[in-house]
Amino acid sequence: MVYLAKDYGSNEWFPESSREMAEVIQWLMVAENEIARGPNDARLHDKFGYELDHTLALDKSNRILDLIEQHLSTQSWLALDRPTIADIVCFPYIALGHEGRANIGERNQIKNWIERIKALPNFISMPDLI
């Protein structure tokens, strides 16, 4: 995503300034770690039959989804008060988490964030998105 944003996007998606870049990168690391080991692992287990600890994946899912819900209660986007690659990277794991029973439930801030992403210009949906 960094490559695509740098070579084909604009500084809006992945900023040049170190402070703003760090804010986006922190969410890329959350996607690579907590989100991937939570909602993504739960989906890999249920939908694709991976031998993973599904209970652990669901515990991790609830923990990170609660943190994201709290974060989005004061901000519309994950970083920089605008859509960035942080949102694009985290979005599919979360919006498809229900396929592994990592449900958003009553986390309305996350639901609203998902709708904001879907409303972005040129958004192309994927099968089974919530």
For the domain bounded by 25-118, which CATH number is listed? 1.20.1050.10
Mean pLDDT, residues 3-15 taken together: 85
Whether pLDDT at 2 is above 90: no
Q: Residue 71 in contact with residue 64, Cβ under 8 Å?
A: no
Q: What residues does each domain of the chain span?
A: 25-118
Q: In angstroms, what CA-CA distances link 46 with 94, 98, 114?
A: 15, 10, 22
Q: What is the 8-class DSSP label of residue 59?
A: H
For the stretch 44-59, pLDDT in tens is 999 999 999 999 999 9
Q: Which pLDDT band, with edges at 50, 70 and 90, does 10 fall under?
A: confident
Q: So what's the pLDDT on residue 6? A: 83
* Section 25-37 average pLDDT: 97
